[in-house]
Structure 1
């Protein structure tokens, strides 16, 4: 989509030294849709982000101005809003909310399943069928809840936190490979894979240092 024409954007500061983006249109009034498209598509998307609009009305003039001007505050998720002081974001994207609801439903279904299995196992034990109870309990996969919890925590991460986690994982892999490189025969794929799997295991055990 082509960015709206005849809109100029200038970064400035308000009276409290907060960074503001001033949008000005030479002719006609700015609209919310027009401003949204400008922020999304102009300057190769360099204005993408979350903004708060402050509207200040003044005493009417005999002649309406030819153009229009809006003042926008760019805000970061988790930071304080310079206008209302609340923490951001105010909302979550619908897709993210749907994924979190789906994860909660899956976790609840797994917990219900585990409760049914454990209840059945107790019944078998009271009937003296201990072997069957053990076999039934062995069908439970303890890693399912852990994986779902990890997915949920990933959804809660901010882009900065996610990038830092990936950086830490990459750092562990590079460190392990650097330690093993002296004795490694890079012509043998098996040795490389062993070193790589060693790094992944260290990550799983929390060795991010």
Structure 2
């Protein structure tokens, strides 16, 4: 089966799935791509039936641009990084997310939060490496160790085209732990008939990470650790 990719998918589902082609279904990838915003490169073709047909140069360029996954472990002297809850609410497993791109962990390990408040704060001090400027519904941060985390507000919220979302940061900004990053209107999302459940993902493929540990806890505040990243 041949799929024409019109751009780099905003959160890396396409290429993460190819890294794990044996456990990911092409229909999951396709259904996800069709729902999402496409901000970049056009015209690449990809044969999903064979990983060997994948254009490796494009892959490496994409990884460097989006996540810097080619980077090795830095000299930061830590063995583990705690990810605190960026949103107040109820913490649930990814299996509860009504989107197979998240629930099957095709993009990576993580948890989800059912928000009780429409504010997103930085789960650690670091740098904003990606913000979806038009839809405003997702962003990615990078810790000084190189660990990156994706926060995706709601499901299919890209369709709101930024309505109900207010960004407080831009790509490239340095942020402090607990700093306000984004505000969103829960009522606007729910009135549109969209789930407000919010995945917090540690994308696959980060060489510095040895293990992602999910920490127990039914509720989350801004100071509650929800994941521990072992380096």
Give the TM-score taking structure 2 as reference length: 0.19
Higher relative contact order (CA 8 A, sep 6+): 2
Larger strand percent: 2
Larger helix percent: 1
Mark the structure with the bigger radius of gyration.
1
